[in-house]
Amino acid sequence: MDKANPNAYRRVVTGHRGGKAVVLSDVELSTYAFKNIPGFKQTYVWVAASAHEADPARVDAALPKSALPPAGGSLVQIVTFPPSAIRTQSSADPKAIAQEYLARLPGLAETFEHDGSQMHATPTIDYALILDGELWLELDDGNAVHLLAGDIVVQQATRHGWRNKSQRPATVVFFMLGSAR
């Protein structure tokens, strides 16, 4: 597959057929650009209810029923955060933003606090790999950890918020494991 669209992600899934390792699917994933938050993008990559092999067609059909994995399951998604300055300049109606979050990020959207801070906690263990740009991870204690491309955060169901205080977008891949808190 040629990289005709540099904003798209390619997902190659392997599995078994007839006792041999094979490619089950090789597809370009669609990226959702939020209409009410310019520059905010999200791509679902994979979801599994357990660690067992899954059929790519069934996985694709299951997304985006929830942006959180079930206990014992996993979910991979890629998120691009626009600079905070762009978010604050957006004149979108907060209700329209909330509705778009609920439609695109079901399960996850409900974990966001209602004060507009974007703080939230999920019943997951997350591995967040900064692919590009820089972000600040804000935690309960008021600390904000500055993260750069290549940094990895292991988050254990903690209350947090992601901040992009830079002038350019930041892209993160989230590997989320569902846990029972």
Residue 30: count other Cβ atoms within 10 Å of its Cβ.
10
76 and 174 Cβ atoms separated by less than 8 Å: yes
Ordered by where they begin, the domains of the chain are 31-178 (2.60.120.10)
Three-point CA angle 171, 176, 178, nearest 5°: 160
108 and 67 Cβ atoms separated by less than 8 Å: yes
pLDDT-derived band at 136 (thresholds 50, 70, 90) equals very high
Phi, psi of 59 (to 5 degrees): -60, -50
| Per-residue pLDDT tens digits for 89-106 | 666 788 888 899 999 999
pLDDT of residue 1: 41
74, pLDDT greater than 80? yes
pLDDT of residue 87: 64
3, pLDDT greater than 70? no
How many CA atoms, within 13 angstroms, populate the side-chain half-sphere of residue 157?
9
Mean pLDDT of 151-164: 96
| Per-residue pLDDT tens digits for 20-34 | 999 999 999 999 999
75, pLDDT greater than 70? yes
Q: Is 76 exposed, middle or buried (0-12, 13-18, 19+ CB in 10 A)?
A: middle
Torsion, Cα 15 19 20 22, to 10 degrees, reads: -30
| Per-residue pLDDT tens digits for 124-133 | 999 999 999 9
* Residue 169 to residue 181: CA distance in whole angstroms: 32
